Amino acid sequence: MAEPGDAIAATLGDLVALPSAYPPGDTTAISDYAARRLRAAGYRVELPCKMPGIVNVVARAGRGRPLLAFNAHSDTVGVGDVSLWRSDPFRAVLADGRLTGLGAANCKGAMAAQLHLAESVAALGGPRRGEIAFTFTGDEERLGPDGMQHLRDAGLRPDMLVLGGPTALDLIVEERGVLWARLTATGRAAHAGEPIAGDNAIDRLLRLIRAIDSGLQVRLPARAKGRLRSTVSLGRIAGGANTNVVPDQAWAEFDRRLLPSERVAEAFAELGELAAMANEPTASWRLELLTGSNGFAAPRNGPCVSAFRQAIEQALGRPARFLDAVGVSDGRWFAEDGIEILSFGPGEGAQGHAANESVAIPQLAEAHAIQLAVVERLLGLGAGVAT
């Protein structure tokens, strides 16, 4: 039951027309749309909501194990500079075999393909064994806890998780962990005309940053797995109250990307260890963990990855390719659960978060066909009832 690309494109047009940009990331309308279609198809549907405005969708069919879950985040980034758009970002435009609109690639294209997948699975009678779930979540672009993390906290425990992402129908099976940390330095204010009377917090912060940077520059080059690298980036820095005042406080924020084998707790401790090498008074600085989640790696011969490899080769006439993830996905909330996690979907990663974001219409149909073949291989189809 392959769906034509124009039917999925029409659904994608509906999704683009339902604004869900962050901020504020309100997914109420787009979740209601998905819920109506899934209920009409016969699924058991819930709309879990922890934070008003961030409405998620969980639709289930079948019972028992294994539980195969599909997910696509329904929120998008903001429009950005609207003058860079050649058309209304919230109106789908079809041209040259592509659909343009905010979220077309990241990740409403994957959401549209998964909605049609859900309807096809139901029309074919639902899974013969185990259970299938379709989840559409908000709060992804904020890296927040009110979307997929909320579903996990509420008890969602799949055996296999397929994240819809712009992978151009290739696979991502490894993802780095992420750690955000804030380093704060304190000092003593004084008039800038007599700086010796004060204790400059910015100077202290710079000495702490240099200690961290010099230590990591020695250690990180050896931390690699294939093309994945362990990295650090100084993303924000601020301090002082006025130019003519010796600053008594300053802070900086770091982004650490971790190999799947590294752990957030250990990486955070390492930052503190390196900062201490600056030999600043203990009470004059502090390091805070803002957020962090470990990475994951799915075996390339696991049942879900193997099913995708077979389906991709059959549908596209070429072997499946494996991509390196630059960012992080909502799969991170399940990194410690020992489940098989992968990302797959239509659209190119470079299109996401860019003006005039677009997706190729044929990829929408191919994504649907590949994922339907995966469901058939993993769960079978034709139990007679969708629920």
CATH number at 125 reads: 3.40.630.10
Strand partners, 179: 256, 292
Of the three residues 259, 293, 327, the one that is the final residue of a domain is: 293
Of the three residues 230, 264, 293, the one that is the final residue of a domain is: 293
CA–CA distance, 121 with 378 (Å, rounded to integer): 13
* Same domain flag for 249 and 365: no
User: How far, CA to CA in Å, does 37 sit from each of 41, 115, 246, 306?
Assistant: 6, 8, 61, 30
* Same domain flag for 54 and 167: yes
* Same domain flag for 266 and 371: no
* Residue 1 clears pLDDT 80, i.e. is over it: no
Stretch 265-293: mean pLDDT, rounded? 97
User: How far, CA to CA in Å, does 168 sit from each of 2, 15, 172, 243?
Assistant: 18, 20, 11, 50
* Same domain flag for 149 and 43: yes
DSSP 172: B
Residue 384: its pLDDT value, please?
62
- Determine, yes or no, domain membership for 29: yes
Residue 43: its pLDDT value, please?
98
* Same domain flag for 170 and 313: yes
* Same domain flag for 240 and 338: no
Stretch 203-208: mean pLDDT, rounded? 98
* Same domain flag for 147 and 47: yes
DSSP 325: P
Q: Domain limits at 218?
A: 178-293
Q: Is 382 left (phi over 0), alpha (psi -120 to 50) or beta?
A: left
User: How far, CA to CA in Å, does 371 sit from each of 310, 311, 339?
Assistant: 11, 8, 18
pLDDT for 20-75, tens place per residue? Answer: 999 999 999 999 999 999 999 999 999 999 999 999 999 999 999 999 999 999 99
| Amino acid occupying residue 318 | R
Residue with tokens 């409403």: 108
Residue 328: its pLDDT value, please?
86
CATH number at residue 238: 3.30.70.360
Of the three residues 250, 275, 293, the one that is the final residue of a domain is: 293
- Strands (E) across 160-294 are located at 160-164, 174-175, 177-186, 190-191, 224-225, 228-229, 231-239, 245-246, 249-258, 285-293
Residue 3: its pLDDT value, please?
62
- Determine, yes or no, domain membership for 384: no
* Same domain flag for 108 and 245: no
| Amino acid occupying residue 128 | R
109-123 and 361-379 helices, crossing angle to 10°: 40
28-41 and 109-123 helices, crossing angle to 10°: 20
User: What H or E segment, with its residue span, contains residue 275?
Assistant: helix 264-276
- Determine, yes or no, domain membership for 387: no
Give the least confident one: 27-31, 129-133, 273-277, 347-351: 347-351
Residue 2: its pLDDT value, please?
53
Residue 80: its pLDDT value, please?
93
- Determine, yes or no, domain membership for 386: no
pLDDT for 297-355, tens place per residue? Answer: 999 999 999 999 999 999 999 999 999 988 889 999 999 999 999 999 999 988 888 99
* Same domain flag for 115 and 82: yes
Residue 227: its pLDDT value, please?
86
* Same domain flag for 127 and 256: no
- Determine, yes or no, domain membership for 259: yes
In the chain, the number of structural domains is 2
Residue 45 CB partners (closer than 8 Å, separation 6+)? 35, 38, 39, 57, 58, 59, 60
Banded model confidence at residue 143, pLDDT cuts 50, 70, 90: confident
* Residue 5 clears pLDDT 90, i.e. is over it: no
- Determine, yes or no, domain membership for 68: yes
Residue 33 CB partners (closer than 8 Å, separation 6+)? 14, 15, 18
* Same domain flag for 78 and 150: yes
Considering just the CA atoms, what is the radius of gyration of the chain in Å? 24
* Same domain flag for 51 and 142: yes
- Determine, yes or no, domain membership for 385: no
What pTM was computed for the model? 0.89
The three-point CA angle 234-293-268 to 5° equals 50
